[in-house]
Chains A and B, each alone.
Chain A
Amino acid sequence: MSVFLKVRFLFVALATASLFGCANDPAPIEQLKLTEQAVAQATAVGATDDEPDMAAAQAKLAQAQANMADQSYKQARMQAEQAELDARLAEARVLTEKSEEQLTQVNTRLDRLRKQLGAAQ
């Protein structure tokens, strides 16, 4: 066997192996649904693109959807998994920020009440 043929054989083997790898990765349909839900939920509590994590989540979700269309399922799954957690982190950040605003508000009211009580007594 010539060297050239050997190399060609190797290429064929590699190509088959990579095809096999592709076939091994099923379409991450459930994961995409999960990610879409996480993004929707973060949007519902008020996360916007100003939040870097939320912007990342949306970009990665779009990328995952594009990968799905190209049938690069492994890429799609990885992007979708990251996007899900990005969205959940953005949601958690927004909720924490809101609770901090509430704390400031209640503290202002308490100060006012104490002042009023001081004046009333």
Chain B
Amino acid sequence: MNRIPRILSVCLLLGSAGLYGCAGHQNSEQALQSANADFQKVKGDTNVLRSAPRDVIRAGELLARAERLSSYVGSSDDVSHYAYLSSRYSAIATEHSQLLLNQEKLARLELERQRLQLALREAKLSGAQQQGKWAEDQVISLSTQQGERGLVMTLGDMLFDTGRAELKSSANRTVLKVVQFLQFNPKRVVRIEGYTDSTGDSQENLQLSRDRAQAVADVLSDLGIEDERIQVEGYGNQFPIDANTSEHGRAQNRRVEIVFSDDKGKLSAAR
């Protein structure tokens, strides 16, 4: 066998091994640098220091370990490993800090929401009182029946403008009654069902009935009833309670019904 190719191949082998070692070293050097940059960033952020001090300390310890190891030969895997762990702790610290900031913000907004709810309730109450006897007549069609579907309250057609989904202010009194009832009966939940007459496109009617039911649900939610207690359904022109042939019948069919659960929170099945 010729010696030259053998020597050549040994040289090649050694050379590639050296290259590989070099590449490993470069990688670990890079990992160390980026871990260091990550750590400097969290160390300089007072918010992160305040909310996640332990994670920042761990990041620092692991970085120091990686730096110590980097002075030894053949430790590039370990250096990369500890640099990686350090970077992860820096990232975790950043996330924890962001979470805490969000939670603090949420608590502030929640207080603001309670304040506005109270103000809105007072505004609606004083509005309802001013309307006085007249308002009582306005909602006379508001009727409550106890049937197989449970307790059902019907909000009549005059509480909405034609084709619109926003509740008129004449609905204040009714809505306040419902809110009060739900606050006294914290286990009860409601399903709000919208209905229209058969005039017009049935897809549009379906949408309008849903929007009107949602509008009632929004007001209840704005006045402090938890969203989890409110379901919303739109039935369009299905389930009329009167003939759609007369103006009176159609007015009867345009309605929003509030179905109350029993006092254990069990609702009758949706239609």
Contact = CB atoms under 8 A, between A and B. Distances in A.
Interface of A: 78, 81-82, 85-86, 88-89, 92-93, 95-96, 99-100, 102-103, 106-107, 109-110, 112-114, 116-117, 119-121
B123 A121 contact: yes
Interface stretch (B94-102, B140-148, B150-158, B196-204): B94-102
Nearest 7 pairs between A and B by C-beta? A92-B95, A85-B88, A99-B102, A120-B123, A113-B116, A106-B109, A96-B99
Given A78-B81, A99-B106, A121-B123, A109 B113 contact: yes
Interface of B: 77, 81, 84-85, 88-89, 91-92, 95-96, 98-99, 102-103, 105-106, 109-110, 112-113, 116-117, 119-120, 123-124, 127, 169, 172, 218-219, 221-222
A89 B92 contact: yes
Contact of A113 (B85, B95, B117): B117
Given A89-B88, A114-B116, A120 B127 contact: yes
Q: Which of A99, A103, A112 has the most CB of B within 10 A?
A: A99
Given A102-B102, A109-B221, A117-B120, 5 more contacts: A85-B89, A106-B110, A110-B113, A113-B222, A116-B120
B91 A120 contact: no
A113 B172 CA distance: 14
Contacts of B105: 103
Contacts of A114: 116
- Tell me the dominant secondary structure on chain A's binding face: helix
A25 to B, nearest CB: 12
A2 to B, nearest CB: 19
Given A81-B81, A92-B95, A103-B102, A110 B112 contact: yes
Contacts of A82: 81, 84-85, 88
A85 B85 contact: yes
Nearest to A110: B113
